Structure 1
């Protein structure tokens, strides 16, 4: 039978070209890469995606340069289609040329067109010095910026990432760095040449630096852990802003239940700290919540969780850090987190226990008012479902940024009995007004009665027993979900962020 024989030479040629691209930087460079405890670019893509789901595009881009140093295509994560790009450090240090720039642009373009997440795996040295100037050809960052607020965008920094390529991470909704990763505007040799500073890549932009600066959100021990973090993060999100978040089937972990444990976790004494993470462990579906940026702005916890099977975003004060006072870093972190959650229609649960914004000279120099205003704008303009609980205290502007604003379209506002609130604490007010002992006592009593006085004026929908916390939030969320009776669209934003 001779059918198809005239294709043999052509298809053999195609196969040879594909095989050359798939060899990446060659056996020696791949072996060196793996000796450093890292997966190669193709292995990373296969590890990230559901088994057998990867479909490559642009395989032959670059000609003699395998895949032009970036592996790109589509696949599935938890059954959901995604676009993915992985820089190949074994090929010309993962640098970007005209062809690879076009591939990067294309996968971002397709992510928005097809309304699916975009994942970038970084391990590259920025623009290729020997490549011709791009002129007015479109840049991949332009396409990625158009993804913002429309499809989830996620980055993992799995090796050194410099220059243009490094900008991908802070533009994304969520980023994670491995212990082998580093991210910077320019690498140590360029820094040495430009400024005379002799610095290692770890000290310039290693995980500790990237986390402390807030450029990167989370850290993972290795490639596998970083890729697992991406899969888990995306599990809380819809494929795009044109759909609602997924929900889990009803089970023992999603069912209503009392929370008597909170009587031991949350001390009635406002002066005693406790770990708000223990509250999340009790209130949300077990054992299921994912913290974002735990090492930055530690006075606020930002986390993704499930409540009754529904995907929610949690913004919670941390009384173990500065008694829960909100500093500039915490406010900046929360503002970004709230905006991302709102963009993808995740209900936001605010758990408030703070004495206000952090005062003091250093805090003012850090721009706490600007950052606080940024968080306030983010939360008050959020159009998603918002639920609030004041556990023990919520003072001044610190209460407003945590969603306790009258007539701000919340689904529900709750407080524990005895919660204290006001412009400032009674002790601070007594000192500021030079109150005598009798007046100080009256101020303290008024503070302790504040929750009841507020409830009498509908300042809260209800004062709740701590043991009712999960059930009250879940019932309110289930009611609020019924507002989703129209086709969902991306959030329109017109305000200027402070």
Structure 2
């Protein structure tokens, strides 16, 4: 790397160096490096690259070495990064990039038509899982791998930006710190980075956890766990205490997931952004699943632009790698209002709608208490939408809008408003009479109903999996 002094200075800040990060991430002794002579006197040309194992599964991994010329990218390093992504697709294994670098290095060399690493990384999308860890300041070209990744995570010492503070000052006159420019307080609320970890080690632990839910590529199915007591059917009477029958009463959807899923140690994706929807990777009956659930603790479960954008990406990633989708709906619709409209709620909602309607993977749906309008449609409550199973709890309310809102919008008389409320209370029964749902299920049957439908649906896997082909235009 950059020599004992620079490495020691780097480690004194509580960060691992590039090689220590790779060693921590991978199974012990499994790293096989390539391109060690690239860069000549510049050690590994400031990027450590190779392959290794995570829980016995091969991965390609690259780590920018900040102790060597600030982890900057020269033609040799660019070629190594390209080779990492090329081999990931060729061998059908995940790609992990660990970032802490200053972007392109001013070398005087002309790149011309030399293939850029981003071209190869983009070709990984939807074919192999791509994960990025931002473990220090990452600027310019090097930072661009994060937004094209399936999943990105940042340590508290991380920062990511188009250009660093010196370039910002030269270009705009603004003086700003790297933390204020692209630290966690910027990158997480903007939605650029999915998850935040306290330390390098925590971030690397989460990368290992995340990849554990996925197959090595889109040419294989997610790995199931061995059966034990956690994967077996069981009643869920706890839901009667968690979820109030009063539609206006809030509750934390995470408590529902703790009960319905195999274990409560499921992995939440992007908890600091779009928190009106919970996106979770979990196991149901031992099978990896992707859960999209409304959060009644936020906006009463109304779906805002950030929540819809988050869910759209999450659904696309899950579908790309054949994870079954579980939708748990409890929302009064898309979030109305001036600020919501300015944020582009309908466009983001349309993105989520396209993502879920074009998904080819197994889809399961449960309406817990309510699902209205377009908010119900983006949550996969729409007829003839290829759900493997669609359920609702008795008394769930649904429709174009709530009876109260419909009465106000139409100027209904008191008698008409009363009839609207009565019809709303019977909506789940009327829908079930016309096969709007496969069945109305009691709350304590929720896990078992989902588990039976999932185990039945898994039998669709009677042909070799392939990457998903999408033809819809993304709104």
Query: TM-score, normalised to structure 2's length?
Result: 0.99
- Counterpart in 1 of 2:306? 329
TM-superposed CA distance for 1:493, in Å, is 1.1
> How many angstroms apart in 2 are the aligned matches of 1:94 and 1:106?
17
> How many angstroms apart in 1 are the aligned matches of 2:254 and 2:17?
36
Is 2:181 aligned against 1:181? no
- Counterpart in 2 of 1:305? 282
Is 2:48 aligned against 1:76? no
Which of these residues, 44, 59, 67, is aligned with residue 21 of structure 2?
Answer: 44
Conserved in 2, the CA contact under 8 Å of 1:297 and 1:327? yes
- Counterpart in 1 of 2:381? 404
- Counterpart in 1 of 2:222? 245
Q: How does 1:18-33 map to 2 (within 5 A)?
A: 24-33=1-10
Structure 2 gaps, min length 5: none
TM-superposed CA distance for 1:176, in Å, is 0.1
Is 2:287 aligned against 1:287? no
TM-superposed CA distance for 1:439, in Å, is 1.8
Give CA deviations for 1:204-243 in whole Å, capped at 9, x if unaligned. Answer: 0001100011000000000000000000000000000000
TM-superposed CA distance for 1:416, in Å, is 0.3
Instruction: Answer with 357-366 or 85-94: which moved more.
Output: 357-366
Give CA deviations for 1:390-448 in whole Å, capped at 9, x if unaligned. Answer: 00000011000001110111000000000000000011111111222222221111111
Conserved in 1, the CA contact under 8 Å of 2:165 and 2:177? yes
Which of these residues, 361, 385, 393, is aligned with residue 338 of structure 2?
Answer: 361
Which of these residues, 224, 231, 238, is aligned with residue 208 of structure 2?
Answer: 231
Which of these residues, 481, 488, 496, is aligned with residue 458 of structure 2?
Answer: 481
Which of these residues, 382, 387, 390, is aligned with residue 364 of structure 2?
Answer: 387
> How many angstroms apart in 1 are the aligned matches of 2:409 and 2:354?
29
Q: In structure 2, the residue corresponding to 1:81 is in which secondary structure? A: strand
TM-superposed CA distance for 1:126, in Å, is 0.2
TM-superposed CA distance for 1:449, in Å, is 0.5
- Counterpart in 2 of 1:127? 104
Give CA deviations for 1:91-116 in whole Å, capped at 9, x if unaligned. Answer: 00000000000000001000000000
Conserved in 2, the CA contact under 8 Å of 1:97 and 1:131? no
Which of these residues, 140, 156, 164, is aligned with residue 141 of structure 2?
Answer: 164
Is 2:442 aligned against 1:465? yes
- Counterpart in 2 of 1:5? none
Q: In structure 2, the residue corresponding to 1:168 is in which secondary structure? A: coil
- Counterpart in 2 of 1:103? 80
Structure 1 gaps, min length 5: 1-23
Conserved in 1, the CA contact under 8 Å of 2:431 and 2:437? yes
Give CA deviations for 1:59-116 in whole Å, capped at 9, x if unaligned. Answer: 1111100000000000001110000000000000000000000000001000000000
Give CA deviations for 1:161-217 in whole Å, capped at 9, x if unaligned. Answer: 000000010000000000010000000010001000111101000011000110000
- Counterpart in 1 of 2:191? 214
**Which of the pair has more CA radius of gyration?**
1
TM-superposed CA distance for 1:131, in Å, is 4.4
Conserved in 1, the CA contact under 8 Å of 2:257 and 2:264? no
Conserved in 1, the CA contact under 8 Å of 2:391 and 2:438? yes
Conserved in 2, the CA contact under 8 Å of 1:188 and 1:198? yes
> How many angstroms apart in 1 are the aligned matches of 2:443 and 2:336?
30
Give CA deviations for 1:240-261 in whole Å, capped at 9, x if unaligned. Answer: 0000000001101111100000
Which of these residues, 123, 130, 155, is aligned with residue 132 of structure 2?
Answer: 155
> How many angstroms apart in 2 are the aligned matches of 1:208 and 1:78?
32
- Counterpart in 2 of 1:145? 122
> How many angstroms apart in 2 are the aligned matches of 1:350 and 1:131?
53
TM-superposed CA distance for 1:364, in Å, is 1.1
Which of these residues, 70, 87, 96, is aligned with residue 64 of structure 2?
Answer: 87
> How many angstroms apart in 1 are the aligned matches of 2:407 and 2:5?
72
Conserved in 2, the CA contact under 8 Å of 1:319 and 1:354? yes
- Counterpart in 1 of 2:43? 66
TM-superposed CA distance for 1:362, in Å, is 1.2
Superposition RMSD in Å:
0.6
TM-superposed CA distance for 1:129, in Å, is 1.6
Which of these residues, 94, 99, 116, is aligned with residue 117 of structure 1?
Answer: 94
Is 2:312 aligned against 1:339? no
Q: In structure 1, the residue corresponding to 2:267 is in which secondary structure? A: strand
> How many angstroms apart in 1 are the aligned matches of 2:264 and 2:425?
35
> How many angstroms apart in 2 are the aligned matches of 1:131 and 1:62?
14
Q: In structure 1, the residue corresponding to 2:147 is in which secondary structure? A: helix
Conserved in 2, the CA contact under 8 Å of 1:343 and 1:491? yes
> How many angstroms apart in 2 are the aligned matches of 1:268 and 1:369?
29
- Counterpart in 2 of 1:199? 176
Q: Which runs of 4+ in 1 moved over 4 A?
A: none
Is 2:467 aligned against 1:490? yes
